[in-house]
Amino acid sequence: MIFANVLSQLPIALPAISYRAVAPELVLFGGALLILLVSATTGRKEHPGLYRAIALAAAVVEGGFSGYQLYLAQGAKASLAVAGSIAYDGFSAFAGIVVAAVLILGILIGPGFVQRIAGDGPEYLVLVLVSAMGALVMAQGEDLIVIFIGLEILSIALYVLVGYRIGDGLAREAAFKYFILGGFSSAIFLYGTALVYGATGSTNLAKIANFLSVNVLVHNGVLLFGLALLLLGFGFKVSAVPFHLWSPDVYQGAPTSVTGYMAAMAKVGAFAALIRVFDVAFGSQITLWRPIVVGLAILSMLFGALFALRQRELKKILAYSSINHAGFILLGVYAGTAAAISNTLFYLVAYAVIVVGTFGLVSIIQDSLGVVEGSCSLDQLRGLARSRPALATVTAIMVLAQAGAPFTTGFLAKFSIIVSVVEIREYWIAVVAMISAAIAVAFYLRIVLAMFRGEQEQEVEGERVLAIQGAATEIPGRRPALAWIGVSLSLLFTIGFGVFPQPLLDLAARAHIIG
């Protein structure tokens, strides 16, 4: 009775819902629910092709909605929805297009390999759709609480995907490590949100920006600590140094196709949220957070490149490569200009497509070699070009694209970020970035040389011979046809927009953030 009386005196005013603004999320959530419904009513292992078709349709429709939003949400047409907690602008629409691209590639590349581990159930596709929805919520969030909810939706789905190989100890360890450290980082992010609320009186980004623009904090220690904790939470999700320690083990332990999807989707969601938070809410406090961001960027670029040189496992090399890329993207955030934000978005989409395609190729290589999902050393790559010339050539192109080879999106992405830094006259930072890029070329070339030089070594101690010609014998029914389609799309994107980048650059330039 007392509870009812309290509620009667405190009516709950529900905000108006703009379904147009949240249509991309609803499409992905609806696709996940439809897959579960089909699996529950028709038998969970009877229709893997139908599950994949539903997931692809959801991804395509979501990308279409996001493209339409990008067309509409220009200038004055950009707006806030759901009580100002969701942004309907060009930035979130562009992020939605990138999410759709990563999702389509992940759906094409992943299930063929994952199904051999856990059968034809709908779990993988449901999890990738839900994680993509979390990334979209992060990109659209105009409130720190909404961003936190998106972060958790994305993260929890990725924790499960990393541990998908239940019977594998390496995968269990990777998932447990990712879950524990991810839980700490989420708690720290939430604590930072609480401190920002204590300092400004709101968690809404626009209201925080307005408060900081009209008030001067005499004692800003609470705000500073809150900013630092928010950066720490984001730093973990993008695997920036020194919050990167989870990354190499998780990359190696996760199913390879899951690793590529995770690397791309986590960075798209986290960087989209990071850019919105610090550009919108804390743009007036740029002198406070810029030194931290540039420190994270430089450490990530240098440590990522240097530690990758010491690795012999292919997936660990690519993990440190991801850390190096995170440093470059952070430089775009550091520059902070409108052109730098556009260049950062271009880097994000270029990296996301390349990394999903690269790990898809690693999955195909592991499949052809008959090696365990979690391991693929440089020694096992030796001589691949002799027995699988097409596979080795495509892998070399994608690896060199990550290095920044000309006529690829990787080259334009790194070049545009360095130009952004030069435009704000931070020449020494540009020099550091170029040095790290030069170091990175060395470990990328190690991968290429391993494939195109020498014969495959034989294991003397093991029971089996790892000669690539013998290990690459075809197993009937295991040819990953859809994976090759996904890899081919990634390759076409990387080279096509590397040679003709203007359409993609124009899209990125239209991705304005509502202030």
Domain range summary for the chain, segments of one domain joined by +: 14-509
CA distance 268 to 191: 23
Report the amino acid identity of residue 323: I
Q: Band the pLDDT of 10: cuts 50, 70, 90.
A: low
Residue partners of 226: CB distance under 8 A and separation at least 6: 192, 193, 194, 195, 196, 198, 199
Q: Which two tokens stand for residue 453?
A: 């030089």
DSSP 79: E
pLDDT of residue 172: 82
pLDDT, one tens digit per residue, over 127-174 is 999 999 999 999 998 899 999 999 999 999 999 888 877 777 777 888
CA distance 1 to 8: 11
> CA-CA distances (angstroms) from residue 353 to 51, 293, 408?
23, 25, 12
DSSP labels for 317-381?
HHHHHHHHHHHHHHHHHHH-SHHHHHHHHHHHHHHHHHHHHHHHHHHHHHHHHT--TT--BHHHH
pLDDT, one tens digit per residue, over 281-321 is 888 888 888 899 999 999 999 999 998 888 888 888 999 99
Q: Is 262 helix (H, G, I), strand (E, B) or coil?
A: helix
DSSP 16: P
- Radius of gyration of the chain, Cα coordinates, nearest whole angstrom: 23
Torsion from C-alpha of 433, 230, 175, 398, nearest 10 degrees: -30
Q: Are 87 and 276 in contact (CB under 8 A)?
A: yes
Q: Band the pLDDT of 471: cuts 50, 70, 90.
A: very low
Backbone angles phi, psi at 204, to 5 degrees: -75, 130
Q: What is the pTM of this model?
A: 0.90
pLDDT, one tens digit per residue, over 388-431 is 888 889 999 999 999 989 999 999 999 999 999 999 888 999 99
From the list 13, 88, 192, the residue with the least C-alpha distance to 513 is 88
Residue partners of 489: CB distance under 8 A and separation at least 6: 104, 105, 108, 357
